[in-house]
Structure 1
């Protein structure tokens, strides 16, 4: 099965970015099922190494992220991450632009 990464809406605007995390510094809440708020998208950006991104609903999907492949988090969709030992990453949050 080929996994096709979701895409950010064309009118999405970045409003917040986490600090950089490693496998040792990642907050434990990111390692377990959690979700963004309604209307909030996320972009997982891997700077170094690799990270496994698991989308847990409506069906389980798993994808390996790398510096060449980022992950998109859809609003309110349950997910979790598993950074590999050599991983360095951050999450950037987006909202759709209000017109």
Structure 2
């Protein structure tokens, strides 16, 4: 899935206009790594699938970009990314 950013960002000297989320390629290890990254920030949400920080980390993993890059997204783009991840994680099969 391609997310076209409403507002491009600059990261590592490059202009980023879109992110490609490969949610289907996520593994259990990716989710465990996202939990560990969240814990390193000393955040323990009651339900991580509803926590924007956790969803941002998982989204970064799906897009194969650093979490710091996702944190630069505009509000609408960030919300779109986290909603896509949330929908993927909690949607019934």
Q: Normalising TM by the smaller chain, what interval?
A: under 0.3
**More helix as a share of residues:** 2
**More strand as a share of residues:** 1
Which has the bigger relative contact order, CA under 8 A and spacing at least 6?
1
